[in-house]
Amino acid sequence: MKVLVVENDKKLAKIIIEGIEAGNECQVTLSCDGTDGLKKAESGEFDLVVLDADLPKKDGITVLKELRQSGNQVLTLMFAESTEAVNLVSALDAGADVYVQKSDNLDELQAWVRSLLRRRSQDVGATIHYAGLRIDPVNHKVWRDGKELTLTAKEYNLLSYFAKNVGKVLTRQDIADSCWEDPFEIFTNIIDVYINYLRRKVDAEFSKKLIHTVRGKGYMFEDRG
């Protein structure tokens, strides 16, 4: 596994890198500003990016937005000194998989790094083919009827989860447990919002719909002919 840490505080960067290397078999690269961090992340060689929100030259939110706009869906953990530096909604909208507030011992950040690296290792598997849909789990790319779809990291995770559970009724709790990191989000409408985002990209331009609402229960992913 290859991890990119984008952090301009060299003392903090050293602590983060030592923590990552101590608990995981991986190679860590350090970048000290947003411009260089974006350039390195765009190379496509990293499995995970650990990104500070407050960076010189280009802030973390801008870095992540530009990375996602280029089609790069690398798993990304964003962290900030305080909730005022960047909020959860801004981080998720930019395409972050996880948002963590900095803490003195960084235990939470390290735990999330381990979790995301496990997820990445589990993602690497066979290409999924279903109803004209093709999902490449190695490069996190998606096509439908030969047309490549540009998805955010969260949208990709949702679609992958749906495609692995064809024909099953998935409750919001099921979806939250598998695709979201923060348990509070089950009590908001954020799941429905992201499913609507996904529908616009996966279903809107195609006559055959794959994402269906099951009234009072949740959602189902299925080709109904």
Q: Give the pLDDT confidence of 98-116 residue by residue, as tens digits.
A: 888 776 667 888 888 888 8
Shortest CA distance to 5 belongs to which of 43, 53, 52? 52
DSSP state of 125: S
* 109 and 187 fall within a common domain: no
* 14 and 116 fall within a common domain: yes
**Inter-CA distances, 44 with 11, 34, 109, 115, 128, Å:** 27, 16, 23, 20, 21
Shortest CA distance to 5 belongs to which of 86, 85, 87, 60? 60
Q: Which domain holds residue 109?
A: 2-123
Q: Give the pLDDT confidence of 142-169 residue by residue, as tens digits.
A: 999 989 999 988 899 899 999 989 999 9
pLDDT at position 138 is: 72
Q: What is the mean pLDDT of residues 64-69?
A: 91
User: Pick from 104, 123, 142: which residue ends a domain?
Assistant: 123
Vertex 24: Cα angle to 19 and 26 (nearest 5): 100
Query: 185 pLDDT exceeds 60?
Result: no
Per the CB < 8 A criterion, the answer to whether 102 and 78 are in contact is no
* 7 and 99 fall within a common domain: yes
- Range ranked top by mean pLDDT from 20-24, 36-40, 187-191: 36-40
User: Bigger pLDDT: 167 or 225?
Assistant: 167
State the CATH number of the domain containing residue 101.
3.40.50.2300
Q: Which residues contact 22 (CB under 8 A, 6 or more apart)?
A: none
Per the CB < 8 A criterion, the answer to whether 6 and 49 are in contact is yes
pLDDT at position 109 is: 81
